[in-house]
Structure 1
């Protein structure tokens, strides 16, 4: 049996075999396994070793896994969840719904008390849970899904209509997904933003980021912060810390995969106060709670 070293620091489901310049990567999710590498003979040896101890189906080229469709061309790899979207639309009788241009209306903003409570919120919770899985390849619905997830304990008619709007948006964009070109540079850069006190119920800010490797989005998130920010600088600064944490995790993962980033990752910030704070902080009684985030970003 070949020795596969588990990557315990970044992803506990990822295993790697390295022998000189040969790499084999094995990703496990329950009983589904993805395996790839830069040497076909090494990949075959790993597959034969697994088949000697476990009941393994005949390996096939990656085309569908965990609801994600993979289409490979000479130009690159396209990942989408078209079948998953169609099944979801059929389940809620929205397959032929009139498409809309955006997944969520900009106004009025949803609140906990928007509309009358649903008699039974089971369908709402099921739909939002399905949309959460869909956001793995559809970063364009990440914010809408995060917002809808905040009302799962008490969904209302307005929340339900907002969730159905996401389905209407998906009805017109079933083939959208992620495309990874065969030729791409390895420079990492990230964009982020924060909506200070954007939640009218608890006035907690929402921060979002997207990390690119070259021209490819590789990580994204939209979620509420843990505490209330008393200024836009504080909200943006915490968003920088969250983005920096994600960038550091990606760099660690790439290093363990044998991919080395030669250029220092760049984080783009549109808040002057947060930028100045990162470059030349002045810690006083009102900024001590940001000391941890500051040292994390500088580190």
Structure 2
């Protein structure tokens, strides 16, 4: 058992929980003690330099530094899970690496000393700190860094000895400056560094008594004494947590990394992690420019704290005006039309890879699409429904990517009344959850949620509460979507000058009584509202259209009325949707 005391804090560590509890209870009986439970860790080695740099401007901050601070905060929010991996070791020797950037600060040309100390393969101490004075040579700045590293090494060595973990071998400090290495062993150069005499004699003393060794390290070829070979599982676990843009760059690191990143198993593992990572969620929106007869696709981060520079304009290979219709696992179904011909494409906006898809047999003006992965057949499928026509000669269609051709699917055998084109409008895609597509059929006799299982190609209906049934006389819109893995039904009505939006969530799929009203929004000018994404805190992103501008593009905001002013919004923008960044290649799916 170890008891560590630092100022007003006491840390009690031991392998026997009972003994630790006894000591804590004994202390509590004599002093006022607050038990903080397990030891929290706040150390973030990866932001040490950034925090050090930003702290230099605390006395006179500006907008530029505030943007940098927000960038660090966004990085911290997206890297909560990664951390330093500490593994059991048999090698209890110390290895120290030191470095300095000579005159690296362009503001005052003061160098920054850095070191990291390993116990075996585990990092246990590190620092990144500006030096006190300006160094006139790289040898001087590197030598000061070695002196700082040596001070920390001596302290850690003494601490390990008190903890009964003596260091048997002479610790080695590695630096990448030959002059500093020679200076620690040979006093012939001391006349050139008289202004660094204290650090010089401090390092020389410990080298002469054989307690420490300063060795040169080629930064391209590390010494064999400290080669670290990570297991493939560890490398895969680290890379899995990186964004797609970084992984695409890291393909050039080595052949092994390129093979690993391109492996289908790794892509699937990366996708599973990205689905739960808030920074991997993006929003895709299309803007139309009628006069130029062109459209542009933009990608935005799904974060309330976003900057204008975070919005990216994406390019796809469709010649005519592209429209993004639906997505699944980072893949987006696009179509374009030049008035006569339609083109269809499956596109990954994160990797910019795409394939051209065959045209469906029935090219109807009022139809809805859905894209989903069928686990039963290990295939991605696109389902197209006609929302207006009836009769035995009209079919829905489904495209399995592996087959490469559209197949007819008969409409439901049970009676579903048609609707006029625009109710539903077809601006949203089919809702997919639990291997089943869903959509709403609305008539004067009420609304019905129709389902279609993509594995066995069987239709069904989802039960609704009576107060959820929508009647056309007063309602402007009724559709379904998926939020947080749950099936949702939403409707907008404007009756006698009062607009009302209702959002229902099915807590237990298929259970009628599990429908729960999640949101109700009232606005006299409300024409339609559509849920797009649910944030981790439960807040909802919606697209709004109002009566006085219902022919124009939507405005995006939250359920609390907070508008996203930095989103690429214009009068001709279309409904967008959220997607997850992924490495899935559409070229490997056919």
**TM-score normalised over the length of structure 1:** 0.62
Distance in 2 between residues matched to 1:56 and 1:208, nearest whole Å = 37
Contact 1:196 1:229 in 2 (8 A): yes
Larger radius of gyration: 2
* Corresponding pairs, count: 205
Contact 1:188 1:212 in 2 (8 A): yes
The alpha-carbon deviation at position 26 of structure 1 amounts to: 3.5
The alpha-carbon deviation at position 256 of structure 1 amounts to: 1.7
Q: 1:165 aligns with which of 64, 71, 77?
A: 71
**TM-score normalised over the length of structure 2:** 0.33
Gaps in structure 1 of 5+ consecutive residues:
1-22, 69-79, 81-133
Q: Secondary structure at the match of 1:178?
A: coil
Q: 2:26 aligns with which of 49, 52, 55?
A: 49
Partner of 1:255: 161
Distance in 2 between residues matched to 1:41 and 1:173, nearest whole Å = 35
Partner of 1:17: none
Partner of 2:3: 25
Structure 1 pair 184–143 and aligned structure 2 pair: CA distance change class (3 A): farther
Select the structure with the greater relative contact order (CA < 8 A; seq sep ≥ 6). 1
Gaps in structure 2 of 5+ consecutive residues:
207-590
Structure 1 pair 184–173 and aligned structure 2 pair: CA distance change class (3 A): farther
Structure 1 pair 288–56 and aligned structure 2 pair: CA distance change class (3 A): closer
Distance in 1 between residues matched to 2:6 and 2:189, nearest whole Å = 45
1:178 aligns with 2:113: no
Q: Secondary structure at the match of 2:135?
A: coil
The alpha-carbon deviation at position 270 of structure 1 amounts to: 0.6
Alignment of 1:116-131 (within 5 A): none
Distance in 1 between residues matched to 2:117 and 2:190, nearest whole Å = 32
Contact 1:212 1:218 in 2 (8 A): yes
Q: Secondary structure at the match of 2:192?
A: coil
Q: Secondary structure at the match of 2:165?
A: coil
Distance in 2 between residues matched to 1:150 and 1:288, nearest whole Å = 29
Distance in 1 between residues matched to 2:122 and 2:100, nearest whole Å = 22
Partner of 1:84: none
Distance in 1 between residues matched to 2:86 and 2:48, nearest whole Å = 19
Contact 2:89 2:121 in 1 (8 A): no
Alignment of 1:150-299 (within 5 A): 150-283=56-189, 285-298=191-204, 299=206
Contact 2:89 2:120 in 1 (8 A): no
Q: Which has the higher strand share?
A: 2
Contact 2:115 2:128 in 1 (8 A): yes
Contact 1:204 1:224 in 2 (8 A): yes
Contact 1:24 1:39 in 2 (8 A): no
Q: Secondary structure at the match of 2:105?
A: coil
Structure 1 pair 234–49 and aligned structure 2 pair: CA distance change class (3 A): same
Distance in 2 between residues matched to 1:172 and 1:211, nearest whole Å = 27
Contact 1:24 1:38 in 2 (8 A): no
**After alignment, is 150-159 or 176-185 more displaced?**
176-185
Structure 1 pair 36–294 and aligned structure 2 pair: CA distance change class (3 A): same
Structure 1 pair 163–280 and aligned structure 2 pair: CA distance change class (3 A): same
The alpha-carbon deviation at position 40 of structure 1 amounts to: 5.5
Q: 2:13 aligns with which of 26, 36, 45?
A: 36
Q: Secondary structure at the match of 1:150?
A: helix
The alpha-carbon deviation at position 291 of structure 1 amounts to: 2.6
Distance in 2 between residues matched to 1:25 and 1:221, nearest whole Å = 25
**After alignment, is 37-46 or 165-174 more displaced?**
37-46
Calculate the aligned-residue CA RMSD, in Å. 2.3
Contact 2:183 2:190 in 1 (8 A): no
The alpha-carbon deviation at position 39 of structure 1 amounts to: 5.3
Q: Secondary structure at the match of 1:179?
A: coil
The alpha-carbon deviation at position 150 of structure 1 amounts to: 0.7
